[in-house]
């Protein structure tokens, strides 16, 4: 089961399972068939059959839920996909972001315009690029919206921005977006990690950041910085004008080595890391 996600406005809880099914737990309103809460609704959202690896994104302001699936374990037709539906699982639409990568699929991230309502709202996703056939390699994708509806086709539908890895079976971390008004007069930053074979040419995992203030871009703001087997989810701390006070935190997925040490420690486990958002150091 994935981590549960609660909509505080409706009291609904969303949980995914290993069969590719998203479930709805109601805590304040009746389930299908007038079953009193708390209850697990018999209505579910079924994706393409592969396991769900992460909880969904839930937007309580629009009543929409976004479920991410990587297609791992499926045959040649498996795709990286995002399903958007109403919170009662009606009105589902599916956008695809390249063929399966052979790894887990974690949540994407909205840009700042999605939250403010000013500018062009976008959803960034770790999809795939297929340089030589077979499973795809991790790639950054983006799609737009028409009103509150996610675009699934067309010019403002799913679009690949750039490859993030040079090898198959390299997972992305969950994507993390943060708007910092104290960097460059206001910068919308996207943070992402991959587990191996960064497109910079090395074989290690890495973390990097992108300036997405003006929309989809291949401009790497900072990085890549090598990290053993990539990173965990990325936690943002602060939007301060003070030097070194706007940071991100994460842990590595692999152990420290002589080439990738933890503050000089080269054995004994993974690393807990702090980087500044601006200088990435």
**pLDDT score of 160:** 94
**pLDDT score of 135:** 67
CA distance 244 to 250: 16
**Residue 54 covered by a domain:** no
Question: Which residues in the chain show pLDDT less than 50?
Answer: none
**pLDDT score of 201:** 62
**Residue 259 covered by a domain:** yes
**Residue 93 covered by a domain:** no
Domain range for 220 is 173-281
**Residue 13 covered by a domain:** no
Average pLDDT, the chain: 91
Structural domains of the chain, count: 1
**Residue 134 covered by a domain:** no
**pLDDT score of 136:** 81
**Residue 254 covered by a domain:** yes
Per-residue model confidence as pLDDT tens digits over 157-202 = 999 999 999 877 788 999 999 999 999 999 999 999 999 888 656 7
- Sequence-ordered list of residues with C-beta below 8 angstroms from that of 270, at least 6 positions apart, any chain: 228, 251, 252, 253, 254, 255, 256, 262
- Token duo for residue 162: 């750039």
**Residue 216 covered by a domain:** yes
**Residue 144 covered by a domain:** no
**pLDDT score of 279:** 87
């Amino acid at each position: 089961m994935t981590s549960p996600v609660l909509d505080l406005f409706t009291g609904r809880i969303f949980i995914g399972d290993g069969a590719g099914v998203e479930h709805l737990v109601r805590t304040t309103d009746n389930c299908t068939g007038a079953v009193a809460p708390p209850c697990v609704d018999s209505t579910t959202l079924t994706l393409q059959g592969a396991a769900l690896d992460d909880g969904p994104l839930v937007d309580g302001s629009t009543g929409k839920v976004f479920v991410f699936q990587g297609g791992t374990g499926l045959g040649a037709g498996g795709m990286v996909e995002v399903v958007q539906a109403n919170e009662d699982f009606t009105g589902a639409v599916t956008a695809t972001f390249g063929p399966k990568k052979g790894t887990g699929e974690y949540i994407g991230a909205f840009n700042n315009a999605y939250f403010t309502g000013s500018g062009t709202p976008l959803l960034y996703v770790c999809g795939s690029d297929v340089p030589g056939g077979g499973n795809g390699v991790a790639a950054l994708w983006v799609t737009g919206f028409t009103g509150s509806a996610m675009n699934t086709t067309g010019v403002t539908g799913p679009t690949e921005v750039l490859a993030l890895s040079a090898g198959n079976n390299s997972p992305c971390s969950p994507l993390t977006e943060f708007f910092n008004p104290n960097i460059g007069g206001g910068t919308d930053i996207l943070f992402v990690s991959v587990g191996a074979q960064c497109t910079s040419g090395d074989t290690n995992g890495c973390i990097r950041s992108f300036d997405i203030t003006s929309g989809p871009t291949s401009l790497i703001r900072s990085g890549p910085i090598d990290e053993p087997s990539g990173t965990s989810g990325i936690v943002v701390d602060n939007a301060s004008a003070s030097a070194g006070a706007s940071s991100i935190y994460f842990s590595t997925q692999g152990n420290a080595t002589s080439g990738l040490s933890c503050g000089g420690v080269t054995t004994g486990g993974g690393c807990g890391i702090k980087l500044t958002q601006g200088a990435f150091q």
